[in-house]
Amino acid sequence: MRRLLTVLAALALPTAAPAQQSAPITDLRYQLTFTSATAQARSLTVTTRFQVDGAAPVLLSLPSWTPGAYEISNFARRVNQFAVTEGGAALPWDKTDPDTWRVRPSGRGEVTITFDFQADQLDNAMAWSQSDFLLVNGTNVFLYAEGRSLDFPARVSVSTEADWRVTTGMSPAGAPRTYQASNYHDLVDMPFFIGKYDLDSNQVEGKWVRVASYPAGALAGAARAEFWTDLERFLPAEIAVFGVAPYTTYSTMMIFSDGYGGGSALEHQNSHVGVYTPMLIGNPVLPSITAHEIFHLWNVKRLRPADMVPYTYDHWMPTPWLWVSEGITDYYADLALVRSGVIDSTQFVELTAGKMQEVADVPVVSLEDASISAWIAMTNGTSDTYYPKGSLAGMLLDIEIRAASGNRRSLDDVMRGLYGSTYLKGRGFTSKDWWDAVSAAAGGQPFGDFNARYIDGREPLPYAAIFAKAGMVASLDSTRVVRVGISTRGDSATETVQAVTPGSAFASAGGRAGDELVRVGEIEATDGNWAGKFRARYGFSPEGTIIPVTVRRAGQLVNLQMPLKFITMTTYRVTFDGTASPAAVRIRHGILTGTVDQ
Ligand SMILES: [Zn+2]
């Protein structure tokens, strides 16, 4: 999945499992029409053509979600002007469930369905348009026959302005702007960019990689060259883990938008789509997200938990394995960056410490429970915990395997082995597959206890004991910090309280959201750095000291008496142990370089 660094979209309920079957349809052809004219309405027109044998009802559905984006989106919500014809005559239709249309053919022949699809959601799993650009995902718009095999071939043609580009991971089908897929899973896993944007290609390890970025000029010049340089370094380090690059051409598809408050990307089998604030250009987060998404082309798009094989599109597919599919992908993103020199070993351990911090800052949750709960986007802060905690669990397993095997095996062997023994055999991996592979790499060492305590269970990950085996030390710095307990929004003239933390100093003084701060102790609240000055002035005063706070409430000045309150802030640090044993140093070196001892 993509990691949403900003606020999650609203949730919708999953749709019910189907108990219905369409009449068979054949020769599926889709057409996407996006022009300056449809762009004005922020929509595209989708035409679906197929053959029917007779007059039996055809049931056509749209997916409720996009694999990788573990949330129910109900794309049928954005369908307008649904119409059906056969031989030029309109056919009747109705719905049988919220995302299924029932069409009644008049007899054998070709049926044509058209609808408009709203393209106004800036989200990598959705459709989004501007006057000269469209992102659309196949899950948004490609109908399938309900209750029938998804192993049907299909063609897609794109109708657009003559001088606009089309980029997709789909295979060309001969005619211009026409593409083909051999089954529905591939069809909906290859999003489209249509319009005006920057596009260039380079060969990496003998295969083509494309970078498409919108708007034109956003990722350009030295910043684009730097992005390419990083990609050309870390991609070979990722290919090295599996020993194979399972694509013909890989497409990195990027949208930069001022209105987007972070970075989020969604993986596919031979592409990914990222949406970013332009502030991330030149920031190390951009290659980091890119390395994460590209690693998914092995881990989750191919090597996948059995409970997501095959994907089904009409209901959610919870799995306890996102800590592997997402968390270990995140670990390998860090590894690829350090192994290829995009970051140095100091930055690598800083990323590791940052993940430990993220885990410590939210309520305790087991990796399996956090994975399963992804679909309901927990509101207690743990909705993304399977990323950092899964990454750390992967690192601990890597060290344990290296320690148990005399640094002759690593987590790389587990990933590469499972890729061969499950994905290449046409199936997903089970719990037994995973733990047998981990144990085998570790020379038979059992991991049932590790699983019970740290993966299924909620015990704190044993950083100190396991890091020591790799010559690393985790330390925790605790500091007491004075806190008012509010979030504010302000300009040069006013500073307004947006939210008050329950039980905080401000709450104890009777302060409320909506109060306009005037003075906090001796600090004028209109000073842009009032909070920093407050911490400097009162950070060493005794807890409970009463200080005066003045607010403006409903136009009146109100004086409050606020007791100083402190919270304990903890900061994780990971460092290299200069006194580590030679065996531990070899393990550390192996992790950082992607090597094992012979
Ligand atoms: Zn991911």
Whether 293 and 265 have beta carbons less than 8 Å apart is answered as yes
81 Cα: distance to centroid of ligand 1 (angstroms): 35
Is the pLDDT score of 6 beyond 80? no
Of 22-26, 494-498, 524-528, which gets the smallest average pLDDT?
524-528
417-426 pLDDT per residue, tens? 999 999 999 9
What is the predicted pLDDT for the residue at 99? Answer: 97
Q: Residue 310 above 80 pLDDT?
A: yes
Q: At 490, is the secondary structure helix, strand, or coil? A: strand
Pairing of strands 516-520, 546-553: antiparallel
pLDDT of residue 9: 40
Spatial contact of 116 and 40, defined as CB atoms under 8 Å apart: no
Quick check: 416 pLDDT over 50? yes
Q: Per DSSP, which regions of 160-277 are E strands?
A: 165-168, 171-172, 178-181, 192-195, 198-204, 207-214, 249-256, 263-267, 271-276
Q: If you measure from the C-alpha of residue 388 to the centroid of ligand 1, how many angstroms do you get, rounded to a whole number?
A: 11
pLDDT classification of 568: cutoffs 50, 70, 90: confident
CA atoms within 13 A on the CB side of 261: 5
Question: pLDDT tens-digit profile of 269-300?
Answer: 999 999 999 999 999 999 999 999 999 999 99
**Mean pLDDT on 589-594:** 98
- Residue bearing tokens 């929004």: 489
Check: CB of residue 134 under 8 Å from CB of residue 166: no
Q: What percent of the chain stands above pLDDT 90?
A: 92
Q: Report the distance separating Cα 154 and Cα 581, nearest Å.
A: 59
Q: Which residue type occupies 256?
A: F
- Give the pLDDT score at 478: 85
DSSP state of 303: B
* Residue 391 reports pLDDT greater than 90: yes
What is residue 350's predicted lDDT score, i.e. its pLDDT? 97
pLDDT number for residue 10:
42
How many whole angstroms from 330 Cα to the centroid of ligand 1?
7
With 70 as the cut, is the pLDDT of residue 159 above it?
A: yes
Distance CA(496)–CA(492), nearest Å, equals 11
* 576 CA to centre of ligand 1 in angstroms: 28
pLDDT for residue 53 is more than 90 = yes
The 10s digit of each residue's pLDDT in 73-127 is: 999 999 999 999 999 999 999 999 999 999 999 999 999 999 999 999 999 999 9
Q: What's the rounded mean pLDDT across residues 337-343?
A: 98
CA atoms within 13 A on the CB side of 20: 19
Is the distance from CB of 154 to CB of 46 less than 8 angstroms?
A: no
Q: Which of 68, 542, 72, 500 is nearest to 293 (CA)?
A: 68
- Statement: residue 19 has pLDDT above 80: no
- Interval between CA 238 and ligand 1 midpoint (Å): 15
Computed over every residue of the chain, the mean pLDDT equals: 95
**Residue 103 β-bridge partners:** 58, 93
Distance, CA of 81 to CA of 252 (rounded, Å): 33
Cα 168 to middle of ligand 1, angstroms: 20
Say which residue the tokens 């999003």 belong to. Answer: 191
Tens of pLDDT along 179-208? 999 999 999 999 999 999 999 999 999 999
Note the Cα 472 to chain centre separation in Å: 29
525: pLDDT strictly greater than 60:
yes
* Half-sphere exposure at residue 362, Cβ-oriented, CA atoms within 13 angstroms: 20
Query: What is the whole-number distance in angstroms between the Cα of residue 133 and the centre of ligand 1?
Result: 25
Between the CA of 473 and the centroid of ligand 1 the distance, in Å, is 28
- Taking alpha carbons only, the member of 493, 496, 491 closest to residue 513 is 496
- pLDDT reading at 8 higher than 50: no
